[in-house]
Chains A and B, each alone.
Chain A
Amino acid sequence: RKEVEQDPGPFNVPEGATVAFNCTYSNSASQSFFWYRQDCRKEPKLLMSVYSSGNEDGRFTAQLNRASQYISLLIRDSKLSDSATYLCVPFDSWGKLQFGAGTQVVVTP
């Protein structure tokens, strides 16, 4: 089993709609979690950090379920500029960042 699993998508979302997707992780020792977004042919950029049960930043909400070992990301009022691949990254106790393969989101007009 991969350490980090994500639905590759694509999630096709009408502009203004809400989209949510999950990431499951296998390492129960993971201390904190991050969501990165990656645009085509660009480097990953940090979107949100998740340290406790969840975090909200504007239109983005991340929730952590330690018992079931998954993190979710919800995007409200989707914008065209939200089209990207979203990468889930658990941070383990050894300091290693393991990336999922990413979930592609396509926001359509």
Chain B
Amino acid sequence: GAGVSQSPRYKVAKRGQDVALRCDPISGHVSLFWYQQALGQGPEFLTYFQNEAQLDKSGLPSDRFFAERPEGSVSTLKIQRTQQEDSAVYLCASSLDGDRAFFGQGTRLTVV
């Protein structure tokens, strides 16, 4: 596709459930970023890949959060044992050369 695609767009999870969020970056884009955005806040950095290498995961809030990009294209953000504070919009962005980044529409996660 022409842009960054994220799925699902909306996810409701019961507390304690595991979830997996998918990001399809723009074809050929080397860099891929995950952000968490709470209502009324700016996007908070979670993690960053160059190709399949996870160069920075300093923003992952706990060891319940795990991201992978095994073939340097599609990425998955997994959250284990979801908690209410995990409710947020999860944004994925990709960049050709680490410069200008383009965002997907996000996955709105609600933990009940």
Chain A interfacial positions (CB closer than 8 Å to B):
6, 32, 34, 42-46, 49, 87, 91, 94-102
Contacts and interface: CB of A to CB of B under 8 A. Distances in A.
Interface in B24-64: 31, 33, 35, 41-45, 48, 50, 55-56
Task: Determine chain A's interface SS by DSSP, over half rule.
Answer: loop
A32 B99 contact: yes
Most buried by B among A6, A87, A98: A98
B55 A94 contact: yes
A87 B103 CA distance: 13
Contact of A34 (B33, B45, B100): B100
Contact of A87 (B43, B45, B98): B43
A86 to B, nearest CB: 10
Most buried by A among B91, B95, B99: B99
Nearest to B103: A43
20 contacts: A32-B99, A34-B100, A43-B105, A43-B106, A44-B43, A44-B91, A44-B103, A45-B103, A87-B42, A87-B43, A91-B98, A94-B55, A95-B50, A95-B55, A96-B48, A97-B95, A99-B35, A99-B42, A101-B41, A101-B42
Interface of B: 31, 33, 35, 41-45, 48, 50, 55-56, 91, 93, 95, 98-106
A44 B100 CA distance: 12
A47 to B, nearest CB: 11
A23 B3 CA distance: 28
Given A43-B104, A97-B95, A101-B41, 15 more contacts: A43-B91, A43-B105, A46-B100, A46-B101, A87-B43, A94-B55, A95-B31, A95-B50, A95-B55, A95-B98, A96-B33, A96-B45, A97-B45, A99-B42, A99-B44
